[in-house]
Chain A
Amino acid sequence: MSETKTTPAVSSAETNGGEPRRNFLMSLSATVVGAAVGLIPVFTGLIAFLDPLSRKRKVPGAYAAASGGREGFVKVCSLEALAVDGSPQRFAVIDNQTDAWNFTPAQAVGSVYVQRTGNSDVRVFNTTCPHAGCSVAFTGSAYHCPCHNSAFNLDGTKLQSTTGRENPSPRPLDELEVDADKLSDGEVWVKYQNFYTGREEQIPKS
């Protein structure tokens, strides 16, 4: 195409005269096409990168059979295993674990504190501190978080410190739903959930 050109492109570019329209169109096309070829590979990668946002939990066919409990509930312990005096006990939550490409049935996926609150009634807390996600421990008379001095009463409410230091937790310990039917059969089945930390309201991660 340059064979028929009469004005040298060099001088036109230098003086900004000659064929400004042609030069402008060429510049525009070069920019558009260049941007397109540069961005397409990035988009290709971004689609895959954003995969976790839309990922749904899938259970392989062999493990799809019902666990014997209500949807989303896992067995934590038997009622009999709990101390009659109502002191909390820590139990591992055993459930199917999906870790990207790996699927492992019956893995410890978290832990809970279970305490008897009556002859056949229990209270279950997620052990994750609602402040910043460390794991709380029951020591003596209350739940203490080892990270930032959060502390909770036996019923999960925030413990007001006597030393005057403020309790940083935005909300009480996260109580988990217990299956009442199973409980009357003497088994503690819990809807195990984790919640976003650092907020006053309880929002489940799902």
Chain B
Amino acid sequence: MKVVIAGFTNWLDHRTGYRQMMHEALYEHVPGGSSWMYIWGSMLVFAFVTQAVTGIFLWMSYSAGSQNAWESVYYIQNEMQGGWLLRGVHHYMAQAMVVLLPVHLLQVVLYRAYSGPREMNYWTGLVLMLITLGLGLTGYLLPWDQKGYWATKVATELMSLPPGGAYIQKLVVGGENYGHFTLTRFFAMHAGVLPALLVAVLGLHLTLFRRHGVTTLPQKWRDDEYFWPGQVFKDAVGCLALLGVVLYITIDHHGAELGPPAEPTEAYGAARPEWYYLFLFQLLKKFHNEFVGAIVVPGLVMGFLFALPVVARIKYGHVVNVVVIITLIIGAGYLTYEAIYHDQYATLDIEEPSDTKARLRHLERVNASREYQEARHLAEHEYERTRELVSFYGIPKQGAASSIVHDDPEIQGPRIFKRNCASCHSYLNEEGEGIAGPRAPRDDEGNLVESPEAYAAPNLYGFATRQWFVDILDPKKVADHDMFGSTSHAEGDMAAFVKDELDGLNPDQQRKLEQIVAALSAEASLASQIDDDAKALADGTLEQGRAAVAEAIDSQACTDCHKFHDEGELGYGPDLTGYGSYEWLYGLIANPAHERFYGDSNDRMPLFAEHPETPSLNLLSPHEMDMLVRWLRGDDRDLALAAERRKLADAMETVTEAQASDSAESDESN
């Protein structure tokens, strides 16, 4: 056996000379012996190899194209076995590379390994750094989610700034707008051009490294060693530690984050580049001129880095270089910290400063940070919801964004609300989460205005539920900020009625009020109250409540001001018939000043769909109205229930139509 192996290895060596190659590779002379300080370069090579391996496996499941990119990444992340792990390792190893790069750079500069005769080695290293950053930038777009889409958009917009940049931008994006070509081009760069370049430059980098050998600070007291096995062992341990950290973070986060699918019409308020680009993002904010902030300053810094070996020739040049490198790393670190700090600002509970100037700056930061936080929460909610949609409907071929997401009230509703309603209304649950309404007015010095004019409108969370009626009929709550508090209705007849007549009710009156609440809320037939409504119908509460609406609790009945089925008249308060139902709510939002709703006493609410015959003139399209109303009512929160209810409604309609045509026929025959 031994003879056979020896025969084969001799044969192979004769034809390849592999022994010599192995010997050269492993028995590299390491002056001063192996060291933990030399592991950074090897770790970077290992990280790159990991990226190549995991990247090729991801490639086998990824599809570049604006209707497939997010969908395929979603599939990798949520459906394929171990897909989240694979994607997570690729994602976090990329970040690890960006962390290791400055460490390696710092080590090289401290050990003076950048100056003659190793300039070329150093410069190829800088090129490798740029290629790696390019890989990060191109990779961020590929999942085609909201955050990748909008962050990358900023980067490509900035490309148009230098002279001739418009052409560069068009070539990179593959046209004027983001689309299929943006993805195919970015993907070709990410998986083809840049890795190939990196391999070529890395080859050069390593060859030059071998030519000049390891540089060391003078350490004459230590013995020389060969690369194998001491340094290989240290390198391997470093790589193992790196892999361990990456695996730990991946498992801890259950893989890399994926946002909701990209939508070109839906701006993303939390658009940020990947964290390792935050220092550039923050730098850009420091300059009023984008050209200076995005191109000139980073360009000068890169230029200086390339010039280090030249500077080193000057007296004290090396010291200058060390100081500059350390300053740059600290500076980038500080800018990164500052960017994160500003985004987190609102969550830090920082006390409002008393100094006017500081207060104004504080308020500005709080507002910007709140916007960021809200957008992030919304994106998380949207992604979770998209998962529900996918498991219920699957992903149609036209892509998630333009099908299931586009037609889902739970995703579109909050967006439409934020754009059109949140300047007055809030939508906050019991925990205060959701969409904040307008901020309390402040004067020019940032002080809260005492007793401001009407500036807000009711919190619409849980509109038309029993709780909502309980609150509006509560003397203590009717004029709260969450109800009529910040509207002209705070001083209106309804608030006065609730305060005067519904305070200190006796048990009989209280029961009657509860019946009224049940009856009025049942008018909406909300999905969330199906069981409650059915119970109230069965035990007679509904019937009693409906009767009680027309009876006075103290001196006045609801129907003295409101219409309710056959009782009362339109023209004073909103119609209580079908209150909160789809049709009612649609009508209210379409035209709150209609006599069926608030008529002349409509406070400041715009007429969102005033022209039913010509929707193009309206503030909201029929689709937007539909999404908004269904979301406010919670019709589609439970997808299975919603589908069942729709089926039932369709069946009812068919029956009604059949009856109608039957009676029409019988009319004719008569």
Least distance between A123 CB and chain B CB atoms (Å):
34
Q: For the complex, give the distance between the alpha carbons of A88 and B542 in Å.
A: 63
Question: Is A118 an interface position by the 8 A CB rule?
Answer: no
Mark the stretch among B83-91, B98-106, B163-171, B191-199 that contacts chain A. B83-91
Which residues of the other chain, B, contact A44 by a CB distance below 8 angstroms? 54, 57, 82, 85-86, 89
Given contact pairs A38-B49, A104-B396, a sample of 11 additional A-B residue pairs in the complex whose CB atoms are under 8 Å apart = A27-B229, A29-B229, A40-B243, A41-B53, A42-B53, A46-B57, A48-B57, A48-B86, A60-B394, A62-B643, A101-B395
- CB distance B85 to A47 under 8 Å? yes
A33 and B237 contact, Cβ closer than 8 Å, known pairs A41-B89, A54-B81, A62-B639: yes
Give the interface centre of A23, A26, A102, A103 by most chain B CB atoms within 10 Å. Answer: A102
Interface flags, B212-224, vs A, CB<8A=1, else 0 = 0000000001111
Question: Is B60 an interface position by the 8 A CB rule?
Answer: yes
Top 8 nearest A-B pairs (CB, nearest first) are A103-B394, A45-B57, A47-B82, A101-B75, A33-B236, A30-B233, A60-B394, A9-B225
Task: Report the nearest A residue to B51, measured CB to CB.
Answer: A41
Which residues of the other chain, A, contact B75 by a CB distance below 8 angstroms? 100-101
Question: Is A51 an interface position by the 8 A CB rule?
Answer: yes
A2 and B223 contact, Cβ closer than 8 Å, known pairs A30-B228, A102-B71, A104-B397: yes
- CB distance A26 to B230 under 8 Å? yes
Least distance between A11 CB and chain B CB atoms (Å):
9
Which residues of the other chain, A, contact B54 by a CB distance below 8 angstroms? 41, 44-45
Question: Is B293 an interface position by the 8 A CB rule?
Answer: no
Task: Name the one of B53, B86, B228 contacting A47, with C-beta atoms under 8 angstroms.
Answer: B86
Q: For the complex, give the distance between the alpha carbons of A62 and B388 in Å.
A: 11
How many A-B Cβ pairs are below 8 Å? 142
Q: For the complex, give the distance between the alpha carbons of A104 and B395 in Å.
A: 8
Task: Name the one of B80, B83, B240 contacting A33, with C-beta atoms under 8 angstroms.
Answer: B240
Which residues of the other chain, B, contact A100 by a CB distance below 8 angstroms? 61, 72, 75
Interface flags, B35-56, vs A, CB<8A=1, else 0 = 0000000000010011001101
Q: Which residues of B are in contact with A by a Cβ distance under 8 Å? A: 27, 29, 33-34, 46, 49-50, 53-54, 56-58, 60-61, 68, 71-72, 74-76, 79-83, 85-86, 89, 221-226, 228-230, 232-233, 235-237, 239-240, 243, 247, 390-397, 639-640, 643
Question: Is A34 an interface position by the 8 A CB rule?
Answer: yes
A8 and B392 contact, Cβ closer than 8 Å, known pairs A30-B236, A44-B85, A51-B83: no
Which residues of the other chain, B, contact A27 by a CB distance below 8 angstroms? 228-229
Least distance between A10 CB and chain B CB atoms (Å):
5
Least distance between A1 CB and chain B CB atoms (Å):
9
Q: For the complex, give the distance between the alpha carbons of A9 and B46 in Å.
A: 26
- CB distance B224 to A8 under 8 Å? yes
- CB distance B237 to A102 under 8 Å? no
Within 8 A of B (CB), among A47-75: 47-51, 54, 60-63
Least distance between B71 CB and chain A CB atoms (Å):
4
Which residues of the other chain, A, contact B29 by a CB distance below 8 angstroms? 10
Q: For the complex, give the distance between the alpha carbons of A2 and B228 in Å.
A: 14
Least distance between A175 CB and chain B CB atoms (Å):
32
Which residues of the other chain, B, contact A26 by a CB distance below 8 angstroms? 229-230, 233
- CB distance A61 to B640 under 8 Å? yes
Q: For the complex, give the distance between the alpha carbons of A175 and B273 in Å.
A: 58
Which residues of the other chain, A, contact B27 by a CB distance below 8 angstroms? 13
- CB distance B392 to A62 under 8 Å? yes
Least distance between B272 CB and chain A CB atoms (Å):
27
Give the interface centre of A30, A41, A47 by most chain B CB atoms within 10 Å. Answer: A41
Which residues of the other chain, B, contact A38 by a CB distance below 8 angstroms? 49
Q: For the complex, give the distance between the alpha carbons of A100 and B76 in Å.
A: 10
Q: For the complex, give the distance between the alpha carbons of A46 and B81 in Å.
A: 10
Task: Report the nearest B residue to A7, measured CB to CB.
Answer: B223
Question: Is A185 an interface position by the 8 A CB rule?
Answer: no
- CB distance A48 to B224 under 8 Å? no
Task: Report the nearest B residue to A23, measured CB to CB.
Answer: B229
Least distance between A54 CB and chain B CB atoms (Å):
7
- CB distance A37 to B225 under 8 Å? no
Least distance between B403 CB and chain A CB atoms (Å):
11
- CB distance A10 to B224 under 8 Å? yes
Task: Report the nearest B residue to A38, measured CB to CB.
Answer: B49
A10 and B225 contact, Cβ closer than 8 Å, known pairs A48-B82, A62-B639: yes
Task: Name the one of A3, A45, A51 contacting B56, with C-beta atoms under 8 angstroms.
Answer: A45
Task: Report the nearest A residue to B33, measured CB to CB.
Answer: A2
Least distance between A43 CB and chain B CB atoms (Å):
9
